[in-house]
């Protein structure tokens, strides 16, 4: 006769018990909300490819700050949309650049809001690639000095953390050296350590106006067939002085989140990218899934894989769900 002394279902019998023994604990403090700041005035426009997300001109960022406060979100990462672009992306490091304006506006509204900035050139170059071109190729080493200049300009504007997303070799070391030389030793670097050349970025490229005008980014972003290479990238960023390692995208790369968490002692971030968000939104709009439940389940899977930090367009809604006890 089967011995039913051991019954795992005992610990699932009530909501009290399920919450008591929950293995994955999530806090609103671990959420980062991506924000798109656009040059101009009186701009507050929903992004068609990202329902529920907006373009904000600096004078309209009070709307974002108010929403963040309402939901208990205190950390954002900024992406900038400049009016003008050029071959070298000079708007990225301008003292009055759009991200620099956004940092100052947010800090004036809420000095306690923790502002992270994306350090890259794709939104600022006329060709849409993430660095300086040599023919049709991105010149890695020429690009490093400009990435360092961008990071310093963000720190000077008041950024609390910088996050290089370009995937150039050696950029963490270049940025760390430049920050330290300019007395920003305490500004951390969250490195997009393993950023894949993913098909899930489509809505973001529409939102940020950052699609390349020719070719693609597979010569610098990672091949999505590879995992050992990702761990090599993470190890290099650790050596160069990264403070946080990020895996991007998240859900299709949970194995990488897990491996990174197992191998390295630094905090691990995962970016639930625009395509992941848009798929849930589209499926929910078609009546195929429950949006709230799918949002909670997908986020829990990322934390369960080992992420300490989640960058997500659902940050306000997830913060509410965490407080309700539906996740976390």
Give Dmax over CA atoms of the chain in angstroms. 77
Taking the alpha carbons of 181, 186, 187, 189 in that order, is the dihedral positive or negative? positive
Q: In this structure, are strands 268-272 and 244-248 parallel, antiparallel, or unpaired?
A: parallel
Residue 281 is a catalytic residue: no
* Cα–Cα distance measured from residue 84 to residue 208, given in angstroms and rounded to the nearest whole number: 13
Q: Single out the catalytic residue among 83, 85, 107, 248.
A: 248
* Cα–Cα distance measured from residue 120 to residue 127, given in angstroms and rounded to the nearest whole number: 13
- The answer to whether 59 and 42 are in contact (CB under 8 A) is yes
* Cα–Cα distance measured from residue 208 to residue 239, given in angstroms and rounded to the nearest whole number: 31
Measured at the alpha carbon of residue 202, what is the angle toward residues 125 and 139, in degrees to the nearest 5? 35
Residue 248 is a catalytic residue: yes
Tokens of 130: 């993430």
Q: Single out the catalytic residue among 181, 195, 281, 324.
A: 195
* Cα–Cα distance measured from residue 244 to residue 266, given in angstroms and rounded to the nearest whole number: 6
- Determine which helix (DSSP H) or strand (DSSP E) holds 158, and give its type and residue range: none
* Cα–Cα distance measured from residue 50 to residue 247, given in angstroms and rounded to the nearest whole number: 21
* Cα–Cα distance measured from residue 43 to residue 35, given in angstroms and rounded to the nearest whole number: 14
- Determine which helix (DSSP H) or strand (DSSP E) holds 319, and give its type and residue range: helix 315-324
Residues marked active site are found at 195, 248
């Amino acid at each position: 006769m089967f011995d039913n002394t051991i019954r795992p279902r005992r610990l699932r019998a009530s909501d009290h018990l399920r919450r008591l023994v929950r293995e994955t604990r999530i806090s609103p403090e671990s959420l980062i909300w991506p924000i798109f700041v656009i040059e101009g005035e009186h701009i507050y426009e929903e992004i068609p490819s990202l329902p529920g997300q907006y373009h904000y001109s600096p004078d309209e960022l009070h709307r974002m700050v108010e929403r963040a406060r309402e939901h208990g979100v205190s950390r954002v990462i900024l992406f900038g949309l400049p009016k003008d672009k050029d071959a070298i992306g000079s708007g990225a490091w301008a003292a009055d650049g759009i991200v620099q304006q956004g940092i100052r506006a947010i800090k004036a509204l809420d000095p306690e809001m923790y502002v992270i900035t994306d350090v890259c050139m794709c939104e600022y170059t006329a060709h849409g690639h993430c660095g300086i071109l040599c023919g049709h190729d991105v010149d890695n080493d020429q690009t490093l000095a400009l990435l360092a200049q961008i990071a310093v300009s963000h720190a000077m504007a008041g950024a609390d953390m910088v996050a290089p997303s370009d995937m150039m070799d050696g950029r963490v070391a270049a940025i760390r050296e430049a920050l330290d030389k300019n007395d920003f030793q305490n500004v951390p670097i969250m490195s997009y350590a393993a950023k894949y050349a993913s098909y899930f970025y489509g809505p973001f490229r529409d939102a940020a106006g950052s699609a390349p005008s020719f070719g693609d980014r597979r010569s610098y972003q990672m091949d999505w067939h590879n995992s050992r290479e990702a761990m090599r990238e993470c190890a290099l960023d650790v050596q160069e002085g990264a403070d946080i390692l990020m895996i991007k995208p998240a859900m299709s790369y949970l194995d990488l989140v897990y491996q990174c968490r197992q191998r390295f002692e630094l905090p691990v971030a995962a970016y639930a990218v625009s395509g992941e968000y848009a798929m849930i939104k589209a499926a929910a709009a078609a009546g195929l899934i429950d949006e709230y439940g799918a949002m909670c389940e997908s986020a829990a899977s990322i934390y369960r894989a080992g992420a300490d930090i989640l960058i997500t367009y659902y940050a306000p809604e997830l913060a509410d769900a965490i407080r309700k006890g539906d996740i976390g």
